[in-house]
Amino acid sequence: MEKTFEYRIYPNNAQKVLLQKTFGCCRYVFNKVLSMRQEEYKQNKKTNGINHYMTQIPTWKKTDSPWLAEVDSMALQQSLRDLDKAYKNFFRSPGKVGFPKFKSKHNHRQSYRTNVISVLDTKHIKLPKIGVVKARISRPIEGRILSATVKQVPTGKYFVTICCADVPSPSISEGSIEILGIDAGIHDIATCSNGTRLANPKNLTKSEAKLKREQRKLSRKQKGSHNRERQRIKVARVHENIANQRKDTLHKFTTSAIRESQAIAVEDLHVKGMVRNHHLAKAIADASMSEMIRQLEYKCAWYGRNFVKVDRFYPSSKTCRVCGYHYKELTLAQRSWICPECKTYLDRDLNAAINIAREGERILNDTVGHTGIEAVA
Task: Report CA Rg, the chain.
Answer: 25
Using pLDDT thresholds of 50, 70 and 90, give the confidence band for residue 96: confident
Using pLDDT thresholds of 50, 70 and 90, give the confidence band for residue 371: very low
pLDDT of residue 120: 87
Flag whether pLDDT at 175 surpasses 90: no
pTM of the predicted model over 0.75: yes
- On whether the CB atoms of residues 265 and 356 are closer than 8 A, the answer is yes
- On whether the CB atoms of residues 127 and 138 are closer than 8 A, the answer is no
Query: Catalytic amino acids?
Result: 183, 267, 349
Q: What is the pLDDT of residues 281-327, one digit of tens each?
A: 888 888 889 999 999 999 999 888 999 999 989 999 999 999 988 98
pLDDT of residue 33: 94
- On whether the CB atoms of residues 90 and 100 are closer than 8 A, the answer is yes
**What average pLDDT does the segment 158-179 reach?**
87
Helix (H) or strand (E) holding 294: helix 289-303
**What average pLDDT does the segment 102-108 reach?**
94
Sheet containing 124-127: give its strands across: 110-114, 144-152, 158-165, 3-10, 131-136, 124-127, 118-121
Tell me the sheet residues that pair with 161: 6, 149
Flag whether pLDDT at 49 surpasses 90: no
Flag whether pLDDT at 186 surpasses 80: yes
**What average pLDDT does the segment 126-155 reach?**
93
Task: Please give the Cα distance from 55 to 67 (Å, whole number).
Answer: 17
Tell me the sheet residues that pair with 199: 188
Using pLDDT thresholds of 50, 70 and 90, give the confidence band for residue 374: very low
Using pLDDT thresholds of 50, 70 and 90, give the confidence band for residue 280: confident
Flag whether pLDDT at 145 surpasses 50: yes
pLDDT of residue 69: 93
Using pLDDT thresholds of 50, 70 and 90, give the confidence band for residue 134: very high
By C-alpha distance, which of 120, 127, 133 is closest to 149?
127
pLDDT of residue 149: 95
Count of Cβ atoms closer than 10 Å to residue 360 Cβ:
27
**What average pLDDT does the segment 90-104 reach?**
88
**What average pLDDT does the segment 330-357 reach?**
90
Average per-residue pLDDT for the chain: 90
By C-alpha distance, which of 256, 298, 291 is closest to 172?
256
Residues of the chain with pLDDT > 70, as a percent, come to 97
**What average pLDDT does the segment 274-279 reach?**
84
Tell the burial category of 226 from Cβ atoms under 10 Å away from its Cβ (0-12, 13-18, 19+). Answer: exposed
- On whether the CB atoms of residues 359 and 316 are closer than 8 A, the answer is yes
Count of Cβ atoms closer than 10 Å to residue 166 Cβ:
11
**What average pLDDT does the segment 51-74 reach?**
92
Provide long-range contacts, Cβ within 8 A and 24+ apart, for 51-58.
53/80, 54/80, 57/29
Q: Which of 45-54, 100-109, 155-164, 360-369 has the lowest mean pLDDT?
A: 360-369
By C-alpha distance, which of 21, 28, 125, 4 is closest to 72?
21
Flag whether pLDDT at 56 surpasses 70: yes
pLDDT of residue 369: 47
